[in-house]
A and B are shown apart, each in its own frame.
Chain A
Amino acid sequence: MEHRKVLVIGSGAIKIAEAAEFDYSGSQALKALKEEGIETVLVNPNVATVQTSHIMADRIYMIPLVPEYIEKVIEKERPDGIFLGFGGQSALNAGVDLHSKGVLEKYNVKVLGTHLEGIEKALSRAEFKKAMEKIGLETPPSVNATGIDGAIKIAKTLEYPVILRVSFNLGGRGSIIAWNEDELVKGLDKAFAQSKTKEVLIEKHLRGWKEIEYEVVRDSLGNCAVTACIENLDPMGVHTGESVVVTPAQTLDNREYQEMRSAAIKVAECINLVGECNVQFALDPKSYRFYVIETNPRMSRSSALASKATGYPLAYVSAKLALGYKLHEVKNSVSKVTTAFFEPSLDYITIKMPRWDLEKFELASASIGTEMKSIGEVMSIGRNFEEAFQKSIRMLDIGEPGLTCGSVYNSGMKRNELEIALKEKRPYWFLYAAKWFKEGYPLEELFEILHVDRFFLGKIKNIVEAYEEYMKEDDPGMEKYTAMKKLGFSDHQLGNRRGHTEPFLKQIDTLAGEWPARTNYLYATYNGSADDKKSAENGNRLLVIGAGCFRIGVSVEFDWSAISLVESARKHFDSIALMNCNPETVSTDWDSASELYFEELSSESILSIYRKMRFSRIAIFASGQIGNNIAEELENGGAKLFGSSAKSIGGAEDRDRFATIVDRLGIKQPRWTSAKSISEIKKFIDEVGFPVLIRPSYILSGAAMKVANNAEEFERFMERAAVVSRRYPVVISKYFDSSVEAEMDCASDGKNVIGVSMQHIEEAGVHSGDSTIITPFFHEKGVKKKMNEAALSLAREMEIRGPFNIQFLIKDGDPYIIELNLRASRSMPFSSKSVGINMVDYGVKGITGRFDWSEFYEPDHKSYAAKSAQFSWSQIKGAYPLLGPEMRSTGEAASMGTSLNDALLKSWLSINPNRIPEKAILLYGSPGRKDVEDCARSLSDFDLLTLKGAEASNVEVKSAEEAIEAMREGEVGMLVTQDDMRSTDYSVRRTAADLNIPMVLNFRLAQTLAAAFKDRHISVKELREYW
């Protein structure tokens, strides 16, 4: 084709509703471009992604996704084409901005794929509605409003409940159900604040209607294929990102399916789609009536899901179509014989479930609805509904062993309590539904509450009944046991009534077996009689475990590790397989490794595949905490680990054992004790005094780790921790609350170590995942030397092979070790990219051989790097924005620079909604804090306001009400504060979150940023130019 160089825009830091699915789709687009010999330039500040490695893109710019920076890249690189459809709404918005500012025209950059006119038609709700009317498709009764009074009138005529929808939204933000006028007015406030166009659509709420999505591909000749139909189990009113969904659709008859399919094609034609879009419908469950809800003219979360569910690589095909290929000219990359011009047929069921982490957010509303709040998702595959459904519950990794015998199922919840939980739409409704059936309450009454199709409720009931029946038998026998496995029960659920049977491996081939598949995209099922794939008899074969469901603390960085691991281990193995269950990821792309097992990551399922397929080694260090938690079970089950042994891992995970080793090596650590009883803890606290850090073993992202500042906080925590960590003692240590925190990402061959050390801007007490991290390490040389020595002696003592991470507190010139993680870490993509190496690659070298240096080696830092945390405060309704030892950020962005200010400013500006304030800064802190004053001085170039009761001196004081009013009026450009002051400023912080006002919740960060604001030096360079 005629293009020489194409610019691809990524989606930036991960936030709720814009997650790793765009790493996957962007990576596929880059792959498709590469195949054509087209040079690729990627703009994406998300350092943790796979796509920001040079294996995918030729040239990478980690800069904020705003027109002024992207223009500099365009000016420098002179691409002739641009892809806007692979970086979510962020990329589309950036594209629209670049176009309206005339940048694309100025440099003659052609938008490839769907043209901007079509995109704009799809994005403006009002225009979309008009366009639908023109082509004879119905949209839900709705009226556009631009003012509060008008909106109230309109809502009255439509009758409550109504939904408010805002244009240019993301993840349903600004989409709110109002049941009465009061709620309407509140919602409007928020909606107008988030709408770029300041328009809102008031729409009749279609209570109980089904929500159905189609994925359409269309080429420039107008040829269309509808590659997937996704059915939401949750009815309209629950965001699709919050819904349990099944593919293919299960309850649609031919007429429903085809009429909506035809409508989806008409929508695609109407926006002159070239590439891929999804179209959402609402379907009346009691007639053939349906409405078009919306279209996303780009790759989306659902298109990533559809790709994994069907085997049809939507992003890859979409990229080819954008380059001008016709559908029948693109090969079906699974069969390699047939073409991409077909609609996949599935001989299995896939189920997607979302995962929430709402309990990490204090005061957050715990009900789900029109706005997306889930952090991650999983997809399961089975040959019946029950099997897939129970698998996906386990994949969520929320401690539920399946639909039965979990925390709700075994609870004493009464009918009225269940009804409340279900009506309030608490996360994981199916757990309450299972309990409902266990107690024998009628299906029809559950249907009236949930409006989930009776077919699905019947299936849930079936699982519960089978379980209750089975558990009544003392010795059910093999036949009944096998029947239970077919319904997706894990051995854990069946307890001592288990037998033994192995699952069969089936292939996903896009064509329901009609043509042979050439790829090894596999899943396990008990509903079969034969395998599609036989194990190789011999050969050195590695199984790599992915990180499963993303959650707070485990995200795309582990996918980067998994892919890096596959790439570096290739030369050491005859073949490498990946096992994972997260549909958003690159690692679940079926050609990332030689085989893909799309499966749950329990020891039962990992071991059954390991044994069945005769793997030689298993790598767990890219799986977040999942692998470390089951390392011992895997070894006991006969698996050989690739990397540190289960014994080494246990030595780091068990806080008691670890602290003993650290003492033995003479490395400093905060005073600690391992307490098995409350009295032991109290004795310790009496000695060292508050604050103390309390944590159970085996944690990631600070779950159930807490700083207790006083006796009351301590008591509260102990109630919770006791539930979390029955099996392990609680370790309690002295906590230094203003010391500097540092960490090292390392790899070892058992004798020698490579390490990159990093420093946190925020003081200890802010979780490392929420901190701003910078390199090189700036503290005095002696400290760093001691850290390096600690890393080396730990690696030798614990026989570490592979990647690891150490966290330190720096106090009075001494590093105190607080944590060792024997696995790839969250910061590894950042530390690696900051110096131009790949730490996982070194990890593999350390496992398979020896390093070619002795003792400790740290690569040279030729530039500065900074990594900032992305929060999703505005999506988590009601949550109190606060930094602390529990992680709450959802993603991260990073930049490199020629100075610290350069790197930090770009990295901070890459975070949504950060921008350099053009209006006043609202600055305040708890009374008596000296650093508020320091901040006020550093930020003296800006207009400052402060909050009454927490004021900075010599600054204009506002009451909370006045401050909120100022924010609403657009007079506040940034909020700076620190500490938990919820009794003073809850509504102030919440308003800032709801209005997307940038927040800096730490004074040290604010001061460092102040310098960067002053400097305003920005370099725009390709990643390699910094190395």
Chain B
Amino acid sequence: MSENQAYLYLEDGTVIEGAGFGARTHRYGELVFSTSMNGYPESMTDPSYKGQVLIFTHPLIGNYGIPEMISENGILENFESEGIKTEGIVVSEATSGRRWNGKLTLDEWLRNEGIPGISGIDTRELTKRIREGGVLSCVISNAGKMDDPFTDLSRKYDTNTGLIGSVSIEKAIVYRGRSNKTIALVDLGVKHGILRNLLKSGYTLARLPHDCTADEIMSYDPVGVVYSNGPGNPNTMKVESDSLAAVLEYKLPVLGICLGHQLSIAALGGRITKMKYGHRAVNKAVVDMKTGRGYITTHNHGYACYTQDMPAGIEPWLVSPDDRVVEGIRQEKLLSVQFHPESRPGTNDTHFIFSEFEKMVRNGT
């Protein structure tokens, strides 16, 4: 592993030095942390991390290397998208593990993908700083000291524009199922885990670009519509919210996941706000406050709807017992969840969300 000096510049003027690995380049992003202890290949290819530099709080990352990509009909089995989506990663130690199902080390993979990494960082201290001061813009560089890293740091990295476009698709892709009946999925940066789970139902899946209109969606004559996860601020996504509001008018079964959940709540009149430092973890409970039943789930979001900001007349279904984030709503035609039922990385405890949606689709047709 190359041991070159690397730098992490934060918008408040802090410079943190470490050892560089991966590609020798620099990248701008929002500095966030994840407390997931493994599943780094899945996390790093999650398109919701677009525009973000990711700190792993677990100190050793890379222990089992990077597996060979397995793809079936264009859908990936062991990655969440075709390439690394994080702008960079920050770790305490980047290890050079390798094992039976892969050839690449973490370092080699980052190099191939042109993504910088920095190690030797007190990631706990950095995480505490974010916890206390909120997320920060940053630039990670392992191509030497930057002359003027702080100027325009936050302009160069802007959460409000352009992120979904860069991780969505240009043209619709149709995955044929056993049935000709079609579920339409609006790809805001969809994880392949979601595609896989939806296809299990046997329906045909039409994966559509993020900026498609309701008419375009309806042209597939869908039996249900899914709004996927994705990066960025939902309050700035005019096209997507409009299409979602229009789709809801058709009284079709709709499933919202993560960003899709936020757009759904916004469409119904709820308020979505930026969180201080978000939820990025695989260890969080969501609880049905009426029955007391709960599940451990995967989270990756920086925006949220808190219980007091719910649309009038709608009760949350699932809530985070720790901070009252609305984690799920269930209406006759709308099922939406803030967490990732497809997990990856994370627990398999909430795959049933897909079956619930399938039931809604079946009942609705």
Q: Which residues of A contact B (CB under 8 A)?
A: 221-226, 248-255, 257-259, 261-262, 265, 285-287, 326-328, 337-339, 341-349, 383-385, 454-455, 458, 504, 506, 511-516, 527-530, 532
Contacts of B346 in A (CB 8 A): 254, 258
Chain B min CB distance to A322 (Å):
17
Which listed residue (B35, B38, B283, B294) contacts A253, Cβ 8 A? Answer: B38
Q: How far is the CA of A326 from the CA of B293 in the complex (A)?
A: 9
Cβ-defined contact, B124 with A513, below 8 A: yes
**In B244-290, which residues have CB < 8 Å from any A CB?**
281-285, 287
In the complex, whether B52 has a CB less than 8 A from a CB of chain A is no
Determine if B57 and A516 form an interchain contact, defined as CB atoms under 8 angstroms apart: no
Identity of the chain A residue whose Cβ is nearest the Cβ of B280 in the assembled complex: A514
A253-B38, A528-B124 known; A347 vs B285 contact (CB < 8 Å): no
Q: Please tell me if the beta carbons of B123 and A341 are within 8 angstroms of each other in the complex.
A: no
Q: Which residues of the other chain, A, contact B78 by a CB distance below 8 angstroms?
A: 255
Nearest CB on B from A224, distance (A): 7
List CB contacts (< 8 Å) of B35-56 with chain A: 35-39, 41-42
- Can you report 29 A-B residue pairs in the complex whose CB atoms are below 8 A from each other? A223-B292, A251-B97, A252-B38, A254-B345, A255-B78, A257-B39, A258-B347, A258-B348, A328-B287, A341-B321, A342-B284, A342-B322, A345-B57, A345-B281, A345-B283, A346-B58, A347-B57, A347-B123, A349-B59, A385-B60, A506-B124, A512-B58, A512-B124, A512-B127, A513-B124, A514-B35, A527-B92, A529-B122, A529-B125
Query: Is there a chain A Cβ closer than 8 Å to B131's Cβ?
Result: yes
Minimum distance in angstroms from A262 CB to a CB of chain B: 5
Q: Which residues of B contact A383 (CB under 8 A)?
A: 59, 92, 124
Given A250-B60, A342-B322, A345-B36, A514-B287 contact (CB < 8 Å): no
A252 to chain B, nearest CB (A): 6
Q: Does B166 contact A (CB under 8 A)?
A: no
Q: Which of A224, A248, A511, A512 has the most CB of B within 10 A?
A: A512
Cross-chain pair count, CB within 8 angstroms = 157
The chain B residue sitting closest to A249, CB to CB, is B38
- Would you give the shortest CB distance from A540 to chain B, in whole angstroms? 30
- Give the interface of B toward A (CB within 8 A): 33, 35-39, 41-42, 57-60, 63-64, 67, 78, 92-93, 95, 97, 99-100, 122-125, 127-128, 131, 281-285, 287, 291-296, 321-322, 343-349
Residues of chain A with a CB closer than 8 A to B41's CB? 253-254
**Nearest chain B CB to A86's CB is how many angstroms away?**
25
Does A384 contact B59, Cβ atoms closer than 8 Å? yes
CA distance A1006 to B293 in the complex (A): 59
Residues of A within 8 A of B100 (CB): 285-287
A residues near B287, Cβ cutoff 8 Å: 328, 341
For residue A882, give the distance in angstroms from its CB to the closest CB of chain B: 47
CA distance A261 to B37 in the complex (A): 14
Q: Across the interface, name the chain A residue whose C-beta is closest to B121.
A: A529
> What is the CB-to-nearest-CB distance from A321 to chain B, in angstroms, rounded to a whole number?
12
Contacts of A287 in B (CB 8 A): 100
A221 and B292 contact, CB distance less than 8 A: yes
Q: Quick check: B64 and A384 within 8 Å, CB to CB?
A: no
Q: Is the interface of A mostly helix, strand, loop or mixed?
A: loop
Q: How far is the CA of A226 from the CA of B58 in the complex (A)?
A: 18
A339 to B292 Cα, complex, angstroms: 13
Contact between B343 and A258, CB atoms less than 8 A apart: yes
Give the residues in chain A near B296, CB-CB below 8 Å. 224-226, 341-343
Complexed CA–CA distance, A248 and B285 (Å)? 19
Residues of chain B with a CB closer than 8 A to A326's CB: 292
Q: Is the CB of B127 within 8 A of A328?
A: no
- Which 4 A-B pairs rank lowest in CB-CB distance, beginning with the nearest? A254-B39, A345-B35, A341-B285, A343-B283
From A265, A287, A343, A458, name the one whose CB has the most chain B CB atoms within 10 angstroms: A343
- Complex Cα–Cα for A339 and B321 (A): 7
What is the CA–CA distance of A513 and B283 in the complex, to the nearest angstrom?
13
**What's the minimum C-beta distance from A795 to chain B, rounded to whole angstroms?**
49
The answer to whether A339 and B285 have CB atoms under 8 Å apart is yes
Contact partner of A222 (CB less than 8 A), chosen from B95, B127, B284, B293, is B293
> Which chain A residues border B124 with CB–CB below 8 Å?
347, 383, 506, 512-513, 528, 532
When the two chains form their complex, are residues A347 and B283 in contact, meaning their CB atoms are under 8 A apart? no
Complex Cα gap A658–B67 (Å):
66
**A344 touching B321, Cβ below 8 Å:** no
Known: A345-B35, A512-B127; 19 extra A-B contacts, CB below 8 A, are A221-B293, A223-B285, A226-B347, A251-B97, A253-B39, A265-B349, A327-B294, A339-B285, A339-B321, A343-B347, A345-B58, A345-B283, A349-B59, A349-B60, A458-B97, A514-B131, A516-B131, A527-B59, A527-B122
Task: Decide: B294 and A328 in contact? CB cutoff 8 A.
Answer: yes
Q: Which residues of A contact B42 (CB under 8 A)?
A: 254
Are B58 and A327 neighbours in the complex by a CB distance under 8 Å? no
**Interface residue from B57, B64, B67, B345 paired with A513 (Cβ < 8 Å):** B57
- Contacts A327-B285, A328-B285; is A345 near B37 (CB within 8 Å)? yes
Q: Is the CB of A528 within 8 A of B57?
A: no
Complexed CA–CA distance, A348 and B125 (Å): 13
Q: How far is the CA of A955 from the CA of B126 in the complex (A)?
A: 79
With A328-B292, A341-B294 already in contact, the answer to whether A513 and B131 are too (CB < 8 A) is: yes
Chain A residue, CB-CB nearest to B343: A258
Could you tell me the distance between the alpha carbons of A516 and B349 in the complex, rounded to whole angstroms?
A: 27
Report B-chain residues with C-beta under 8 Å of the C-beta of A514.
33, 35, 57, 127, 131, 281
- The distance from the CB of A183 to the nearest CB of chain B, in whole angstroms, is 32
CA distance A327 to B291 in the complex (A): 13
- Chain A residues within an 8 Å CB radius of B284: 342
Please report the C-alpha to C-alpha distance between residue A506 and residue B97 in the assembled complex, in whole angstroms.
27
Q: Quick check: B348 and A262 within 8 Å, CB to CB? A: yes
How far does the alpha carbon of A287 sit from the alpha carbon of B293 in the complex, in Å?
34
A870 to chain B, nearest CB (A): 39
Looking across the interface, which residue of chain A has its beta carbon closest to that of B37?
A248
Residues in B whose Cβ lies below 8 Å from that of A262: 347-349
Most buried by A among B93, B95, B281, B285: B285
Residue of B nearest to A456 (CB): B63
- Is the Cβ of B58 less than 8 Å from the Cβ of A347? yes
With A250-B60, A254-B38, A257-B38 as given contacts, are A455 and B95 in contact (CB-CB < 8 Å)? yes
Residues of B with C-beta under 8 A to A286: 100
Q: How far is the CA of A348 from the CA of B59 in the complex (A)?
A: 6
Q: How far is the CA of A338 from the CA of B64 in the complex (A)?
A: 32
Determine the distance from Cα of A337 to Cα of B281 in the docked complex, in whole angstroms.
Answer: 18
From B42, B59, B345, name the one whose CB has the most chain A CB atoms within 10 angstroms.
B59
Q: In the complex, are the beta carbons of B57 and A512 less than 8 A apart?
A: yes
- Nearest B residue to A531 via CB reads B125
| Cα distance, A222 to B344, chains bound together (Å) | 23
A contact residues around B349 at 8 Å (CB): 224, 262, 265
Q: With a CB–CB cut-off of 8 A, which chain A residues contact B93? A: 384, 527
